[in-house]
Every structure is written in structure tokens, then in C-alpha cells.
Amino acid sequence: MTDTSMTSYFKSNISNLKDESGSNIFSDSIFSDSLVLNGEATSNYFGFSVSNAGDVNGDGYSDIIVGAYFNIERAYIYFGGLTMDNIADVTLSGTGGYFGFSVSTAGDVNRDGFSDVIVGQPAGFIGSAFIFYGGSSMNSVPDVTMMDENPSTFFGLSVSDAGDVNGDGYPDVIIGADFTDSRTGRAYIYFGSATMDNNADVILYGESTYSEFGWSVSTAGDVNNDGYSDVIVGADMYNNYTGKCYIFYGGTIMNNIADVEMTGERDHNLFGYSVSTAGDVNGDGYSDVIVGGDNRQRYEVGKAFIFYGGSSMNNVPDVIMIGEATNYSFGISVSCSRRRKRETVIQMLLLVL
């Protein structure tokens, strides 16, 4: 599928998405063609991972980062602007091991006024993740390098900003390693600071072998509105691919006991394949989360689930969004994009390599 046809396909089909009551979720009018970013060559999987990068160069415009993990192993940052172009402004390169498989904003982990980015490199003998500090003249040399202590754990398979989980004023990051401990999986949280180090400050553990806890990780926002950011971790292989997600509340002394656990509807749902904060979609002052379960192993229509935050958040989905047809992998990627003050649009993206 070409870039142009994929864009048209995405726009025409997402406008037909319905919730369980049959009501349309989106209007096609919110989407328009603006800019197409192209990879350098075929078979690089450019666009396999994409993320908001924050404002890495401090010009007042948000930037984006795109990964191309296969063969070329790079990540590209494109600066935003009134006349944004499709030429990469910063190119980051790895040292082998699928660098660029995962990319994300890291927030401003060192609080120097410039947003930073994090890139995962999960393959190879030892998985890694790299933080690159933003700046008025951002370079391509990693400023913090995190490496797993064990081989073949796919450390760096998933990376994300974590918000400020410990309330010290510095944004933190979270990294997944889903093959750790016989594929039980782990997720590692690193606190930001003016002199950020590569020692994990909180380690989260999966609950059963072959569940692949850490396949997906994200900030959850502040779902219980206690002033600390929370995180969400997916284990899409849990219980015969039913899938499960875990929310861990932040705190001055954050622990590794899950505060909310959500489970998929039945086997092979792959619930938790993708996770993200959803912003505050219902405007009640609590952050919400969105979880994708693409159902492709059942050859059924994929779904995405929104769970509202609250002072006593439960594990019952408040909104269930359903794809249009089987084999579309609806829910394989989920994210939050703020459009206007107090308005949030949830985007379910079809992954096309």
C-alpha cells in the first residue's frame, strides 16, 4: 500500500468507526492531508514506530520522531513549524540490534527547557535504550544509555515517557523488556534529573511466564488525581493470549504492586498489545487510558477500550470501540492527541509496513 493510498484508506475508514451503540466516533472532517514523510529505501520499516517528540529545539513548535529499525537502524526527528517540511532535521543512528524499533518523547528529563527523546534497541545480545537531550543545536550523541543486565530480554522493545511518577519535578521514562524471566517480562522506570543516570529506580514484574509483560508501556497520566503521574503496562500474551494490563500509581516512594488490573475478554484477544494515556476524555478531572486488542489471532474485528480514571478507578471499560472488518488489525496502535483546550481525540492507527 502506498503512502497516498494508506492515508486515504485511514481517513475513509476511521470516519466510519462506531462504538457499541452504533454511533459514529469521528467525522472525516477532522483529518486532512498535510505532509508525507518518506523513508530512505525499501525494507527499512520506516514508520514502524512514531511519536510526538515534544519541542526538542525550543522554537515553540512540537516535533515528531520516526523510527526505521530494519537494515538502516535509524530514527529521524522532524522539526515542527509554520511551514514544516519532510526533510529530517536530526538523524539518530544505532549500533545494531533494531535501533528505532521503539521511539518516544522522554519529556524534558533534565529540565533544561528542551524536550528529549528516547529510542529503543531491543535486539542483539543485550538490549538498550538511549535518551537524546534536545537543544537549540541538538546532536545525535546519546546522553544517557540504559542497558539490561541480562541477555536476550528484548529490553527496549517498548519505551515511553512516564510523566513525573515521584513528584520531584523531573519527567521520568519507562522501558519494557518482555522476554525477561522466561517471557514473564519486566518494565523499568528511570527517574529524570539534572544529572540523570542509567540505574533503574523502580522495577515492575509480570505475574506469569509467557505473558510478555512489558510488550507495551506508557504513561497513564494521573488517573487517580493524586498529583503523581501513573504508568500502564501491557502483557498481551497473558493467559493464552487473552491479555492483561496493569496500572501502577506513582508516589513519593513508588512501589511495584499494580493498583488496577484489566483483563481481555477472552483468549487470543491480545488485549494490551497497545496502551496509552487517553488524556481526560470525559472532562471529570481524572486522566483516562486506552488499550488496544486487535484480535488478529482470532481473525475477528479488533477493539480498543477506554477506561475512565477516578479516585477509585475500576477495571470495567467505559467505552469500547470496534473496527470495521476482520484482519484490519484495528487497535494495534493507540495514542492520545490533544486538539483544543479540553478536547481530546483518540487515534487508532493501522500499522502498515
What is the phi/psi pair of residue 9, to 5°? -60, -45
Q: Taking a C-beta distance cutoff of 8 angstroms, is the pair 344, 337 a contact?
A: yes
Please list the pLDDT of the chain residue by residue as tens digits (353 residues): 333 333 333 333 444 444 455 555 444 444 455 789 999 988 999 999 999 999 999 999 999 999 999 999 999 999 999 999 999 999 999 988 999 999 999 999 999 999 999 999 999 889 999 999 999 999 999 999 999 989 999 999 999 999 999 999 999 999 999 999 999 999 999 999 999 999 999 999 999 999 999 999 999 999 999 999 999 999 999 999 999 999 999 999 999 999 999 999 888 889 999 999 999 999 999 999 999 987 666 657 888 999 999 999 999 999 999 888 777 778 888 888 654 333 333 443 433 33
pLDDT at 338: 53
The pTM assigned to this predicted structure is: 0.88
DSSP string, 284-333: SSS-EEEEEE--GGGTS--EEEEE---TT--SS-SEEEE-SSTTS-TTSE
Phi-psi region of 323 (alpha: psi -120 to 50; beta: other; left: phi over 0): beta
So what's the pLDDT on residue 280?
Answer: 95
* 3-class SS letters over 57-113: CCCCCCEEEEEECCCCCEEEEECCCCCCCCCCCEEEECCCCCCCCEEEEEECCCCCC
Beta strands in 169-243 (DSSP E): 172-177, 186-190, 202-205, 216-221, 230-235
* Backbone CA torsion sign across 10, 12, 13, 19: positive
Q: What is the pLDDT of residue 302?
A: 84
Residue 342 is predicted with a pLDDT of 36
pLDDT of res. 340: 38
pLDDT of residue 113: 98
Q: Give the amino acid at 304.
A: A
Mind giving me the DSSP string for 14-63? HTT-EETTS-B---GGG---------SSTTS-EEEEEEEEE-TT-SSS-E
Q: How would you classify the pairing of strands 202-205 and 186-190?
A: antiparallel
